[in-house]
Structure 1
């Protein structure tokens, strides 16, 4: 993984703009500490910071430039099928360096639109064709790799992180509709808007075509998930066997690296699948797991039959205080839970041990219907959470905030979905592309790259989604059994037994609620009962004080709304005040 920064101006770049660009690319050094380079032309600048993963030689330093073709290229991510592409298009090993180098050669020879659909993996990049006076700014199918942009009258900018774009804003202002979505509805990273006015994020599976001279942009989708896949006629056991083959192939591709790898293991089914497939493909990664000071995690970890060396990372209040400020700064926007800070400790530990790449098990629940909320009995509660109705039961929110417009409502998303999709798959689709996975990917990218670690999510692969969409719903979830991702559990059953593989899904994150009521209570009160916070016009001061004074272990079952308020206030203090 790496960092990219691009500036295109309608006027010739002057010395102050070039100096600002150089300072801004330095803000991405943590994403790519192994090399930093910039190309300047009369009207655009393209910079790249490299985290060397495949081909560690200087040959694969970026940005790439073809003098004869007048083309430039910078990319962040990994193309896991690059060896297959090299064979298909008759490139020998000596013809290219890294996966990124090969993609540049393919784009140059065959064109962006003819190659982009063939790329497997995670990526966000910029391809500039000066001969055609155009540039393509693109992002992978699921938005695993981030890309933010500013489109103003006289210039266009794109970057891997918001922080490197902020110096180019005339004024840093809050985009209030996103604040409402976050505070009231609990939704974040679900639209093209960010917390900063005039800074946008490119949505997953999309590209921007930029005309270099006129600054005109067109945003298009290059990937749409297929819901009209032909229905599979495989039996449940045959489908299980086929899925295991697909999973094995995908994981083998994700283990391609010239540096040491580690895996993140929680106590659940998805992590166990990741570790099992790692063994199946003859890998022996080092494993990291979070403890959070919760004794009930020990029982679940003991049920896992893990043959890898594993290190447990402890997390407590003092750890939070030590790391929170830096995490907020690197995230660039508020986030939804304390677990993000906890993972900063994990990646810091991993980096010190020499690991530059991690694998994580995100995506299985959304692709194979693993969450309890997809069950019929929970559909009413799930619909309330989509609309924000659950959170809006509190009476202390400022009326101006309640009456202000949203950035994007999930109800609008639902109304635009293709017809013929079952309610269960519809709910999972929203989680996959709007509600859950986008925010998780942003948190994970920023917190891992904060410590110069590349995070891969092998289960977020369109080949798995396409296969899942061919299967009967009852291969995935059963209202009768009250359980999801049945086909995944069936893979694990023959290796880990019925008791573990078909155990109920466990929802253990951090001890956030307990910390907020106890060790962090003074910090919570000093932050959220301050005049500084009240000046944000998020809550009614009197009603909110009353609410906070009544909090105790019996009436605080869910602390997410409090965390969102804390996270927003701390973000404002770092970026707005």
Structure 2
């Protein structure tokens, strides 16, 4: 996992490229590579994971020097692809990078459907003088870009674009939607005006000032391939085989691995299957806790690991840590992030990095494919768990600012209401948000995060299964729980899902009250809020109405990010 950056056009200078690579150095501290020629500047920050030799450094050239590749991510099935390509390409490294380039040379953009991995890459064709860029199916790895002064700028992080001269200007419509509806933007948007994203599952071409974007991964069509109904046992066996293969593929690395674990059935199943693989039985496990029994999952984690040989590393987060860690987090996230739980999660990656663990596995993605969130049962539109009333406070926004907001109507390509909610969460809300948070916080610690449950084969297959395999007699993620019974005790398999994992509500109201007040006051110069109503709403929270702290965190997050960018 790495960072990519560059400029195509008359602004492509060595000085600008150097600044870009310096800003995102944390993404790849092992090697910094550059290519500059005429109006082309391509750069790469390398975090060495597969084939640690210098011959695998990037920018990476094809044998005939026509194509130049910069690549962020991993192609997990690179060994199988390399076997297919042996007669078509003369390989000189053992890297997945070279396999990716050889795949493109052989199959063009059709190579994408053959890739099992997380990726964001750009190829410069020196003959056609054309850019080809692509992002993986779910957008695990980022690709930001901007157009300015007849030049095309791109990078793995937003701050990287700012360092090259892209103006810092808030995208007020996205911010208004964030405050009014909790939206983190559409797949092609960012919180900054003029900074766009290549959506997951899309390709981009750029030639002589002409930009074109097309969708290469059509999830709806892929799901149709699984429409033949299997018996429950057949579905369980098929899913287990896919899951075991996904984990096996994600064990491919030339550096130490670890994994994140909580008390829930998702990461517990991951742990069980990791330990089924002989290589996994002694790898480090990581979890966080806050010393608050109302929220901590530590007892379930310790019970789970009692029967394994995995060393458990526990990371304690305290209220007094939050102020400094929040400011630090803003330096890497560039956009709003998920509050205290995200901060706690970031500390895991720091701990792993200190232990020499470079790659961590995580259980992200099960709830979306097996309908695990409470609102799938309640059939509500909210994507915020653990609250009884709306977590948003649009009434305190300045009417002119509020008018910029627009409630998003997400696509509903399926005839089933729950599948449409799953689709929304996979491509517009839950997964894009979590993947962005997790990419930035893992990369901030110069570590790589892999998500075995987001293997596209698993997601497509699980999504296509009938509702009774997902929710059965009130039990959600039903097939997964039955599968887990082969590995886990009932206490873990049927442990209640805890929507809240940190005492964020209490900390913001009590331990961190002065900080919350100060950061909220900082917003009053923006003309985004009715300042009197802002004060009133904050007082209501401090006085005990703490069903949700999401709106409080929104205000703090906005203040911190704007100050980080010298705008507040």
- Give TM-score scaled by structure 1 length: 0.92
1:471-509 per-position Cα deviation (integer Å, ceiling 9, x unaligned)? 21101113xx32211111011113223343134322232
1:511-570 per-position Cα deviation (integer Å, ceiling 9, x unaligned)? 111110111001001121x2x311112321112212222324741111011101110111
CA distance in 1, matches of 2:20, 2:380: 47
User: What CA RMSD, in Å, does the superposition of the two structures yield over aligned residues?
Assistant: 2.0
Offset at residue 381 of structure 1 (A): 5.2
Give the equivalent residue in structure 2 for 1:510: 502
**Which residues in structure 2 correspond to 1:226-305 (within 5 Å)?**
226-282=222-278, 283-284=280-281, 285-296=283-294, 297-305=297-305
**Which residues in structure 2 correspond to 1:210-229 (within 5 Å)?**
210-211=206-207, 214-225=208-219, 226-229=222-225
- Residues 401 and 391 (structure 1 numbering): CA distance in 2 closer, same or farther, change over 3 Å? farther
CA distance in 2, matches of 1:84, 1:568: 46
Give the equivalent residue in structure 2 for 1:429: 423
Contact residue 179 and residue 551 of structure 2 kept, 8 A: yes
CA distance in 2, matches of 1:455, 1:325: 22
Give the equivalent residue in structure 2 for 1:351: 353
Q: Does 1:106 align with 2:103?
A: yes
Bigger shift: residues 31-40 or 299-308 = 299-308
Length, aligned pairs only:
555
Q: Does 1:551 align with 2:553?
A: no
Q: Identify which of 153, 170, 173 aligns with 2:169.
A: 173
Give the equivalent residue in structure 1 for 2:492: 500
Give the equivalent residue in structure 2 for 1:396: 396
Q: Does 1:469 align with 2:463?
A: yes
| SS in structure 2 of the partner of residue 550 of structure 1 | helix
Structure 1: which 5+ runs fail to align?
none
Q: Identify which of 89, 114, 119 aligns with 1:118.
A: 114
Bigger shift: residues 496-505 or 192-201 = 496-505
1:249-296 per-position Cα deviation (integer Å, ceiling 9, x unaligned)? 010000100000010111111110110110112213200001122224
CA distance in 1, matches of 2:226, 2:72: 34
Contact residue 59 and residue 97 of structure 1 kept, 8 A: no
Give the equivalent residue in structure 2 for 1:196: 192
CA distance in 2, matches of 1:392, 1:506: 21
Q: Does 1:2 align with 2:2?
A: yes
- Residues 124 and 94 (structure 1 numbering): CA distance in 2 closer, same or farther, change over 3 Å? closer
CA distance in 1, matches of 2:257, 2:383: 40
CA distance in 1, matches of 2:427, 2:470: 19
- Residues 393 and 482 (structure 1 numbering): CA distance in 2 closer, same or farther, change over 3 Å? farther
| SS in structure 2 of the partner of residue 410 of structure 1 | coil
1:305-363 per-position Cα deviation (integer Å, ceiling 9, x unaligned)? 45111111000122223322121011111213222222222211111110111111000
Contact residue 54 and residue 99 of structure 1 kept, 8 A: yes
CA distance in 2, matches of 1:438, 1:381: 17
**Which residues in structure 2 correspond to 1:524-563 (within 5 Å)?**
524-528=516-520, 530=521, 532-552=522-542, 554-563=544-553
Bigger shift: residues 349-358 or 336-345 = 336-345
Q: Does 1:144 align with 2:140?
A: yes
CA distance in 2, matches of 1:256, 1:289: 23
Offset at residue 153 of structure 1 (A): 4.8
Give the equivalent residue in structure 1 for 2:373: 371
CA distance in 2, matches of 1:130, 1:93: 20
Offset at residue 106 of structure 1 (A): 2.4
Bigger shift: residues 228-237 or 46-55 = 228-237
| SS in structure 1 of the partner of residue 64 of structure 2 | coil
CA distance in 1, matches of 2:501, 2:326: 17
Q: Identify which of 340, 352, 368 aligns with 1:338.
A: 340
Contact residue 232 and residue 470 of structure 1 kept, 8 A: no
- Residues 269 and 190 (structure 1 numbering): CA distance in 2 closer, same or farther, change over 3 Å? farther
**Which residues in structure 2 correspond to 1:475-490 (within 5 Å)?**
475-478=469-472, 481-490=473-482
Contact residue 358 and residue 456 of structure 1 kept, 8 A: yes
CA distance in 2, matches of 1:20, 1:362: 36
- Residues 383 and 352 (structure 1 numbering): CA distance in 2 closer, same or farther, change over 3 Å? closer
Structure 2: which 5+ runs fail to align?
none
Q: Does 1:309 align with 2:299?
A: no
Bigger shift: residues 176-185 or 294-303 = 294-303
CA distance in 1, matches of 2:463, 2:534: 46
CA distance in 2, matches of 1:500, 1:534: 47
- Residues 68 and 237 (structure 1 numbering): CA distance in 2 closer, same or farther, change over 3 Å? closer
CA distance in 2, matches of 1:83, 1:97: 9
CA distance in 1, matches of 2:90, 2:268: 35
Give the equivalent residue in structure 1 for 2:94: 97
Bigger shift: residues 551-560 or 432-441 = 551-560
1:101-160 per-position Cα deviation (integer Å, ceiling 9, x unaligned)? 12112223x143131211101010001112122111111001000110012351001111
Contact residue 180 and residue 393 of structure 2 kept, 8 A: no
Bigger shift: residues 230-239 or 541-550 = 230-239
- Residues 42 and 132 (structure 1 numbering): CA distance in 2 closer, same or farther, change over 3 Å? same
Give the equivalent residue in structure 1 for 2:328: 326
| SS in structure 1 of the partner of residue 379 of structure 2 | helix
- Residues 442 and 380 (structure 1 numbering): CA distance in 2 closer, same or farther, change over 3 Å? closer
Contact residue 375 and residue 383 of structure 2 kept, 8 A: no
- Residues 190 and 280 (structure 1 numbering): CA distance in 2 closer, same or farther, change over 3 Å? farther
Contact residue 23 and residue 163 of structure 2 kept, 8 A: no
CA distance in 2, matches of 1:26, 1:527: 30
